[in-house]
Chains A and B, each alone.
Chain A
Amino acid sequence: AQSVTQPDIHITVSEGASLELRCNYSYGATPYLFWYVQSPGQGLQLLLKYFSGDTLVQGIKGFEAEFKRSQSSFNLRKPSVHWSDAAEYFCAVGFYGGSQGNLIFGKGTKLSVKP
């Protein structure tokens, strides 16, 4: 069965430091990959997505992610974290099939930013 793993439940970084959030998926073919961010009490906002083509994708708010097929990974990165980036981050996988487009989400990684 398809699954998404975000190994880190909670990460704390200092403001200005670099960030990498990990995401691994289990799926038999190339999936569609997404990163969403959720602030407390808010819905999900799309940061970036990968469908095909260049494996390094750029998103909003200075985020980027790299699809690595050999590692079944889609890690999210940001070179310099801002205090406003504190939120919960969800990796999600989509695929064509009977469900026609539903997404499978990881359990999320909560990001805290130290001043």
Chain B
Amino acid sequence: GAGVSQSPRYKVAKRGQDVALRCDPISGHVSLFWYQQALGQGPEFLTYFQNEAQLDKSGLPSDRFFAERPEGSVSTLKIQRTQQEDSAVYLCASSLERLGNTIYFGEGSWLTVV
């Protein structure tokens, strides 16, 4: 596609519910990133994939957060047993390869945990 596509755009989850957020990167982009943006804050790094390999997951806030990219294209960020503090916008981004290329962001998935 023309840009990074994320779904759902908006998700309301009850506390304790599991959610899955999908990212479809720009075709051919090797690198894929997930960021979390809390209200009024800048995006914070969660995890990074190069093709299907998850090379960095240092930003994942707890073991309730899990990301995968099994075939090196579409990625899913899963949050188990959601908590209110998980409410945020989850941004996916992709680039041709590692740093040195422009990183393109999707419009985000807005998660509200009630």
Chain A residues near B (Cβ < 8 Å): 4, 32, 34, 36, 41-46, 49, 51, 90, 92, 94-96, 98-108
Which B positions have Cβ atoms within 8 angstroms of A? 4, 31, 33, 35, 40-45, 48, 50, 55-56, 58-59, 91, 93, 95, 98-100, 102-108
If A98-B56, A99-B48 touch, does A49 touch B91 (CB 8 Å cutoff)?
A: no
Cβ of A102 and Cβ of B33 under 8 Å apart?
Answer: yes
Contact A44 B98 (CB under 8 A): no
Interface pair A101/B99, CB less than 8 Å apart:
yes
Is there contact, CB below 8 Å, between A90 and B48?
A: no
**Bound: A49/B101 CA distance, A:** 10
Contact A103 B45 (CB under 8 A): yes
Known: A43-B105, A46-B103, A49-B102. A100 touches B48 (CB 8 A): yes
Give, as a whole number of angstroms, the nearest-CB distance from A38 to chain B. 9
Compute how far the CA of A42 lies from the CA of B110 in the bound complex, rounded to whole angstroms.
Answer: 11
